[in-house]
Chain A
Amino acid sequence: MLVALVAAICASLAFGAVEIPLSDVFGTFFGDSVPETSKQIIEVLRLPRTVEAIVVGAALGVAGACLQGALNNPLASPDVIGVTGGAGFGAMLIIILNPASVALLPISALAFGLIAAGMVFLIGFTGRGGGNITRVILAGIAIAALFSAATAGLMSAYPDRVPNAVFFLVGGLTSTGWENMETIWPYFAVGFVLAAFMIRPLDKLMLGDDVAASLGSRPRLIRLVAALAAAILASAAAAIAGLLAFLGLVIPHLVRLLGGTKSHVFVMPVSALAGAALLTAGDTLARTIAAPQELPVGPFLVLLGVPLFLWLLRKAV
């Protein structure tokens, strides 16, 4: 998986809408003299975008692994805890109602993703029977439906502004330099650290709540913290790359099928690598296949991921 990621990173830096000789690509990084335009394209456009692809892909892979482990549900993804619906609504508020403040889009998407997840956690984890998996999932579905309806309402009220929103909704990275990352990186950091701390507890949770409790764990707390880590990571990912929930759903399954183990010690870090590799490769394809036009990366991820996933699924069954 590491090799695949390195190959994807190299391709992402080497290929784009403008053809740049490989010597210039290397030259840029090793301080050689290269044409100013080539240098700028690599430093200001390709490098930040590649880093974004790595971080967002890894975040979605880890978020999926965390959620599927915490909710003990193979269908769990950032959709299930309302993050996707909330982030989508937050983005639409800016794109449709206040397009001039598009610089605030990542903040709004992040904030509403977290608000949606917070509402789900409030309903799912508090009161009598709080922490029940079914309750959390149903609360997530209801909150996601609420935000999706609000998004649809905004889009139908301002149909002429919808084209700009499509790119966000189908998911895609952009070449906006380091600006987004400078704002969002602390959320990624917190999410990754929380997720790392949940690796062992999630493994205990796989044995069942009673066994986990007898081993000194607190299942309800583990679920809440793991889901919180997933919510932070998925919201931060949506803030940068739009709605790419597919990665969060499929990557952990791919990793389990490839590795033949469900242990989070394996699944969590390899999901990060696989998510990063798949998103980096998909984004490179999306911005080169119809160059100079850029296509959204979402459909490419599906094209790349689904055949592999189905093949592994068939092989495993």
Chain B
Amino acid sequence: MSDAATSLTPRTSLISRVVMVLAAAFMLVALVSPQAEAAKQKRVVAISPFAAAAMVKIGVKPIAIGQTIGGERRKPAALRGVPVLKLSHPNGPNLEVMAKLRPDVVFSSSRWARGSQAMRRLGITVVNTDPLNINQVYAGVKKVARFIGKGRRAARVNNSIRNRIRIATRNITKRPRVLVVLGIGNTAMAFLGNSWGGELVTKAGGNLVTGGASNTGGFARLSDEVVVAENPDVIVAVPHGNADDLSEVAEYIMNNEAWQTTNAVKNGKVFVSTDNELLQAGTDVGQIIGKIRSDWLKNW
């Protein structure tokens, strides 16, 4: 009996080992196969352009993205072909379309708050990720990475952003006075230091013309008297996404009677932002700062 028992033990052990090895191999194959990757990967809709860009940097493609307001040039190549959702104020994407897409996570923005509430009622997890300053970019990347289950990749992406900013802000010797105005209206809606565009221009070496105005929204309707008194060397106009009207916007500012004596107008240093780089946060902070320096501030 004991012989039989002892003779059976090695065979049982061998079988169980073979089974275990096979199971491990199967699991390994299953884990690395793309189908399993897709099955495991969350279905993510990135309404916020920042979140879409962050996802691409992390190495994950969203199943749909929100339409971009004010230019497509910053859209990462990897997002070409990804379905684009139309957005409307204040609801954001069409809720029936969202219900059909069945996303696990939607990266949205506070500007679509009403739509976010409705999406939550549909059982969709909605996360707001739309940074308003550079520090929030790093936090935003971490948040996106965490919600798509790629938390470890956030540090790599953030280091890359940090390095690009470091390179773009090196050797600033010239600090011109810069007025950045939003849209064109009867009076100048100026970018303040706490706006996305204002912070980038400051990082690029510009001294923002604000007359000391402060506003939690980041913009202020600035008196023309302040513009004349502070005499900007450079004026940058940010239109409301009307790419066709860019030359007319510059012409309008050049002809604005109130600003005729500013250095910017006298020296022809009036520029028009051709994309949404000063309005919409992204992961391309360093590149934008570089562009501001080389194209507008001429200090690089």
Contacts and interface: CB of A to CB of B under 8 A. Distances in A.
B223 A175 contact: yes
A294 B187 contact: yes
Nearest to B192: A293
B171 to A, nearest CB: 32
A45 B248 contact: no
Contacts of A164: 182-185, 189, 240
Contact of B242 (A17, A100, A165): A100
B215 to A, nearest CB: 7
A24 B40 CA distance: 74
Interface string B213-230: 101000011111110110
A241 B185 CA distance: 13
Interface in A164-215: 164-165, 167-168, 172, 174-179
Contacts of B221: 167, 293-295
B222 A293 contact: yes
Interface in B182-225: 182-187, 189, 210-213, 215, 220-225
Interface string B237-264: 0011110010011001001111011000
A102 B245 CA distance: 11
A17 B245 contact: no
Given A99-B184, A160-B240, A167-B186, A292 B223 contact: yes
Interface in A262-317: 287, 291-295
* A100, A163, A168 — most chain B CB neighbours (10 Å): A100
Interface string A7-49: 0000000001110000000000000000011001100111000
Contact of A175 (B211, B239, B255, B258): B258
A278 to B, nearest CB: 21
A159 interface: yes
B228 A99 contact: no
B69 interface: yes
Interface residues on A, range: 35 or more
B300 to A, nearest CB: 29
Nearest to B186: A174
Contacts of A160: 69-70, 240-241
Dominant secondary structure at the A interface = helix
B89 interface: yes
Contacts of A177: 257-258
Contact of A167 (B187, B245, B258): B187
Contacts of A175: 187, 223-225, 258
A179 B255 CA distance: 11
Interface residues of B, number: 41
B223 A16 contact: yes
Most buried by B among A45, A105, A172: A45
B256 A292 contact: no
Contact of A41 (B225, B255, B256): B225
B245 to A, nearest CB: 3
Given A99-B240, A100-B245, A168-B186, A17 B226 contact: yes
A152 interface: no
Contacts of A167: 185-187, 221
Nearest to A91: B186
A100 B253 CA distance: 10
Contact of B225 (A18, A95, A105): A18
A101 B255 CA distance: 12
A291 B212 CA distance: 9
A163 B252 contact: no
A158 B88 CA distance: 9
Name, among A101, A159, A164, A168, the residue most crowded by chain B CB atoms within 10 Å (CB to CB): A164
A98 B184 CA distance: 10
B187 A45 contact: no
A101 B185 CA distance: 10
Contacts of A105: 186
A18 B70 CA distance: 34
9 nearest A-B pairs in the assembled complex, by CB-CB distance: A292-B211, A100-B245, A177-B257, A100-B248, A17-B223, A159-B89, A164-B185, A174-B186, A175-B224
5 contacts: A18-B225, A44-B260, A100-B252, A167-B187, A292-B211
Given A17-B229, A46-B225, 18 more contacts: A17-B225, A37-B229, A41-B229, A45-B225, A95-B185, A99-B183, A99-B184, A100-B248, A102-B252, A103-B252, A159-B90, A164-B182, A164-B240, A165-B185, A168-B185, A175-B223, A293-B223, A294-B222
Interface of A: 16-18, 36-37, 40-41, 44-46, 95, 98-103, 105, 156, 158-161, 163-165, 167-168, 172, 174-179, 287, 291-295
